[in-house]
């Protein structure tokens, strides 16, 4: 299956929509009870509009993952981060974002990840550019929009600042541009909320109930959550161990951007510090850089091992989706 995505043609990324739909067949036959938590005002408006239509909710999850995978593949094609340019970064982003059963719900983090990816791309595009005020403003603006789906994502403004330090060095005016970009959406949405008599809801979701300090909803994950999470942890350790291989014999701009992906993964757990009602799906904060680097890793190993590992991973994923149906029969 991976051979289909071993191409540098961006149009192949449209197959990710079929791939995402395949990975989300389980919720149709084995429905689960799930409620989103710790979401922002934009997710509240969207979820209220579609939650009565299960088909629309499931389709929205698949489409959201497809868009995120497509954008990651576009970034790889643009910045030439992988040694072998292909569509595997987007594929593994979709796979990571679907591995745990709770990831397959219409989580606010799926939507937040799309905007966060775009914001990071805007920041990466500032390397060796003399005039990039628009990209700096856009980076802050788009990260702020991501926080309207998951308020804790404001912490990724720190990622934008760290990335700029790596790409351009410190410039206080550039930090102000990013901060100004992040402030504008809050002013605009705040004005709209005031005009529509929802200013109390805005403050509640974005500040009071949206952000809390280490507030766990469930004490410990179940065995059906632990095993898929263990798979992700194993691959995460592999990715960390291969940092030197990813960086070796690369041009300086690629090295800097790959370093930003590692900072992205390192900062992702910080969202849990400020997240209200932490659930398993909040681990999706690491999905974008993790999936991207996994795609680079699977591109670098022999294709037969990559295919076998992917098929085993896929089989585990589908088994955990249908286990209740299997054992019931």
pLDDT tens readout for residues 234-256: 999 999 998 888 888 888 888 99
Give dist(CA 249, CA 36) in Å, integer: 44
Q: What backbone torsions phi and psi does residue 125 show, to the nearest 5 degrees?
A: -80, 0
pLDDT for 15 beyond 80 = yes
pLDDT for 151 beyond 80 = yes
Tokens at 271, concatenated: 């969202």
What per-residue confidence (pLDDT) applies to 281?
82
Annotate 264-305 with DSSP letters as a single string. Answer: HHHHTTHHHHSBSSB-GGGGGGGHHHHHHHHHHHHHHS-HHH
What confidence category does residue 316 fall into, taking pLDDT thresholds of 50, 70 and 90?
confident
Identify which of 236, 85, 75, 269 has the alpha carbon closest to the alpha carbon of residue 159: 269
pLDDT for 136 beyond 90 = yes
What per-residue confidence (pLDDT) applies to 111?
93
What confidence category does residue 214 fall into, taking pLDDT thresholds of 50, 70 and 90?
low
- The percent of residues in the chain predicted with pLDDT above 90, rounded, is 40
* DSSP letter assigned to residue 12: G
Residues with Cβ < 8 Å from 3, sequence gap 6 or more?
303, 307
Residues with Cβ < 8 Å from 317, sequence gap 6 or more?
23, 95, 98, 99, 228
**Average pLDDT of the chain?**
86
**End-to-end Cα, the chain, rounded Å:** 30
216: helix, coil or strand?
Answer: strand
pLDDT for 219 beyond 60 = no
What per-residue confidence (pLDDT) applies to 324?
64
> pTM of the full predicted structure?
0.92
Identify which of 79, 127, 104 has the alpha carbon closest to the alpha carbon of residue 250: 79
What per-residue confidence (pLDDT) applies to 6?
83
**Looking up tokens 């804790």, which residue turns up?**
152
Tokens at 213, concatenated: 């300090």
Segment 95-121 shows an average pLDDT of 90
pLDDT for 326 beyond 70 = no
Q: Where in the sequence is the domain holding 251, given as residue range(s)?
A: 2-29+36-328
Number of neighbours of residue 288 by Cβ within 10 angstroms: 27
What confidence category does residue 325 fall into, taking pLDDT thresholds of 50, 70 and 90?
low
Runs of H (alpha helix) within 104-251: 108-124, 133-147, 157-168, 172-195, 199-203, 223-241, 243-247
Q: Number of folded domains in the chain? A: 1
What per-residue confidence (pLDDT) applies to 272?
81
Identify which of 172, 173, 167, 16 has the alpha carbon closest to the alpha carbon of residue 97: 16
Tokens at 182, concatenated: 């992040």
């Amino acid at each position: 299956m991976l051979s289909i995505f071993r191409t540098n043609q961006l149009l192949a990324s449209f197959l990710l929509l079929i791939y995402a739909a395949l990975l989300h067949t389980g919720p149709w036959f084995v429905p689960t009870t799930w409620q989103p938590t710790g979401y922002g005002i934009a997710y509240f408006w969207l979820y209220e509009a579609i939650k009565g239509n299960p088909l629309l909710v499931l389709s929205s999850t698949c489409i959201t993952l497809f868009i995120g995978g497509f954008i990651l593949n576009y970034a790889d094609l643009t910045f030439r981060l992988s040694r072998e340019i292909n569509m595997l970064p987007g594929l593994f982003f979709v796979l990571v974002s679907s591995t745990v059963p709770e990831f397959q719900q219409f989580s606010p983090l799926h939507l937040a990840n799309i905007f966060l990816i775009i914001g990071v791309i805007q920041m990466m595009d500032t390397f060796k550019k003399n005039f990039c005020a628009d990209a700096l403003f856009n980076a802050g603006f788009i990260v702020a929009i991501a926080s309207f789906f998951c308020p804790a994502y404001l912490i990724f403004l720190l990622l934008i600042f760290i990335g700029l330090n790596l790409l351009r060095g410190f410039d206080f005016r550039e930090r102000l541009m990013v901060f100004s970009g992040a402030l504008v959406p809050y002013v605009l949405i705040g004005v709209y909320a005031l005009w529509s008599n929802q200013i109390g809801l805005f403050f509640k979701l974005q500040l009071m109930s949206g952000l809390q300090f280490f507030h766990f909803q469930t004490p410990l994950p179940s065995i059906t959550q632990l095993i898929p999470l263990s798979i992700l942890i194993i691959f995460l350790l592999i990715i960390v161990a291969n940092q030197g291989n990813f960086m070796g014999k690369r041009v300086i701009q690629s090295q800097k951007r790959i370093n930003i992906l590692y900072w992205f993964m390192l900062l992702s757990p910080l969202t849990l510090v400020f997240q209200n009602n932490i659930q398993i799906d909040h681990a999706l904060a690491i999905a974008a850089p993790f999936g991207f680097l996994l795609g680079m890793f699977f591109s670098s190993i022999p294709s037969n091992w990559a295919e076998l590992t992917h098929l085993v991973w896929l089989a585990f994923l589908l088994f955990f989706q249908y286990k209740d149906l299997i054992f019931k029969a």
